[in-house]
A = this chain, B = another copy of it.
Amino acid sequence: MCELLGMSANVPTDICFSFTGLIRRGGETGPHKDGWGISFYEGKGYREFRDPEPSIDSEIARLIKNYPIKSKAVISHIRQANVGGICLENTHPFSREMWGRYWSYAHNGQLKDAKRRFPASFYLPVGTTDSEQAFCWLLAQLRLNFTDQCAIDPMGKALHGWCEQLREQGVFNMLLSNGDYLFVYCSTKLSWITRRAPFGKAHLSDVEVTVDFKEETTPDDVVTVIATQPLTDNEDWHTMQAGELIVFRDGEVVVRHLSEQEQTKTDQPG
């Protein structure tokens, strides 16, 4: 398995604090040694840093930890390989251009028979992972059914349906972004937290680091962080349900869909 980290914020914000916690899991407090990556949006601009080395040993991860790149949307991933060898082309996040924007994606989980069930068309995978196969299929579905002028509600609903199809083939926890929206789908394990005024202190679970967000923020800042497992041990994180899709923009929830199955369970009288 792997671990995911995402951020959506209403002001360009650095992710150094959360990333410091995450990379410990890449060979120190966790077994995710098979590469790591992170992508940042700066307006329509996009850059990603990826390394097939364990994050804990990576020169580039050290730079990212210490060099604050400010962004409103971030996707990061540390990998413990199952399908596909350990090499750069199999290292998340993956990205493609669609509708004149860069789309970025990372996946945690494993899908059966991905190549046959989720055939590539418009976008082709470069590496050999089930994850990239699913990404190429998902983007093609979006491209075939929508344009960049479409509203987010129908797009979120359709994306939820496609993610449900993917989940039927295994485990599909996913982060997807075009820089404006961050689409988060939970198959088995994802948590999130929104930090806003009044800000307090947060303490990382994986390393002895505390940050006082009061000193780092202004009262209007809204910053949401999404992670496979909560990164701090003194805050309340929301646990996502299996089959739940949330779309964030500027740190706020703008669309949310539950699996019909789970929805039925929730609706039943207790």
Interfacial residues, chain A to chain B (CB-CB below 8 A): 42-52, 59-60, 63, 67, 87-91, 96-97, 99-102, 123-127
Copies of this chain per assembly: 2
Q: A97-B96, A101-B126 are in contact. Are A59 and B67 (CB under 8 A)?
A: yes
Report the Cα distance A49→B60, complex, angstroms: 11
Q: How far is the CB of A58 from chain B (nearest CB, A)?
A: 10
Which residues from chain B contact A90 at a C-beta distance below 8 Å?
A: 45
**A148, chain B: closest CB distance, angstroms:** 9
A266 to chain B, nearest CB (A): 40
Pick the contact of A87: B42, B51, B125 (CB < 8 A). Answer: B42
Query: Cα distance A87–B45 when bound, in Å?
Result: 7
Question: Which chain B positions have C-beta within 8 A of A87?
Answer: 42-43, 45
Q: Which of A48, A87, A88, A123 has the most CB of B within 10 A?
A: A88
From B45, B52, B67, B124, contact of A100 by CB (8 A): B124
Residues from chain B with Cβ under 8 Å of A44 in the complex = 89, 126-127
A48 to B39, CA, bound (A): 12
Alpha-carbon separation in the docked complex, A50 to B48 (Å): 9
With a cutoff of 8 Å between Cβ atoms, the chain B residues found around residue A42 in the complex are 87-88
Q: How far is the CB of A99 from chain B (nearest CB, A)?
A: 7
Partner of A91, one of B45, B124, B126, B127: B45
Residue numbers in B under 8 Å from A88 (CB-CB): 42-43, 45-47
Whether the pair B100, A43 counts as a contact (CB closer than 8 A) is no
